[in-house]
């Protein structure tokens, strides 16, 4: 449905320099990432390795976060161990694009506990596109 918001959620292992070895990270975590990226901006160096879901139409952020937490459930200890060993940061990034109405912004105690067990920071970006034609984005 074109009215539902689009929600992206990623669990990222983030390095504040661009030297992260993605193959090493993949081997250490034990699964293939859905995304990797290196900053191309010299003044903002960084690299990230992640597992997530891009632009899913959903009614709540918790619904999409649940899916990502299931995707990483067998790898949590390895994610924490690798990030700690390398001094990397674990992030959960949620991006919401609103087209007609916003999602439910719900995080349950279970979500918070799982993110805390990962030592993850939670960040959210919200883009309100209501009133704009969806096919322009």
Q: How many domains does the chain have?
A: 1
Tell me if 49 is assigned to some domain: yes
Tell me if 110 is assigned to some domain: yes
Q: What is the Cα–Cα distance from 69 to 76, expressed in whole angstroms? A: 9
Tell me if 69 is assigned to some domain: yes
Specify whether the CB–CB gap between 3 and 46 falls below 8 A.
no
- In degrees, to the nearest 5, what angle opens at C-alpha 66 toward C-alphas 127 and 110? 110
Domain range enclosing 98: 6-131
Give percent of the chain with pLDDT exceeding 70: 95
Task: Grade residue 42 by pLDDT with cuts at 50, 70 and 90.
Answer: confident
Tell me if 137 is assigned to some domain: no
| Predicted confidence (pLDDT) per residue in 71-121, tens digit | 999 999 999 999 999 999 999 999 999 999 999 999 999 999 999 999 999
Tell me if 136 is assigned to some domain: no
Task: Grade residue 43 by pLDDT with cuts at 50, 70 and 90.
Answer: confident
Tell me if 87 is assigned to some domain: yes
Mean pLDDT of all residues belonging to the chain: 93
């Amino acid at each position: 449905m074109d009215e539902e918001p689009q929600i992206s959620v990623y669990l990222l292992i983030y390095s504040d320099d661009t030297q992260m070895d993605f193959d090493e990270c993949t081997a250490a975590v034990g699964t293939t990432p859905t995304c990797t990226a290196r900053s191309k901006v010299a003044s903002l160096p960084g690299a990230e390795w992640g597992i997530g879901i891009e632009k899913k139409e959903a009614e709540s952020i918790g619904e999409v976060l649940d899916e990502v937490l299931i995707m990483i459930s067998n790898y949590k200890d390895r994610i924490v161990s690798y990030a700690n060993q390398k001094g990397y940061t674990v992030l959960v990034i949620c991006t919401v694009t609103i087209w007609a109405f916003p999602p439910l912004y719900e995080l349950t105690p279970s979500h918070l506990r799982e993110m805390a067990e990962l030592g993850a920071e939670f960040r959210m970006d919200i883009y309100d596109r209501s009133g704009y034609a969806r096919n322009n984005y």
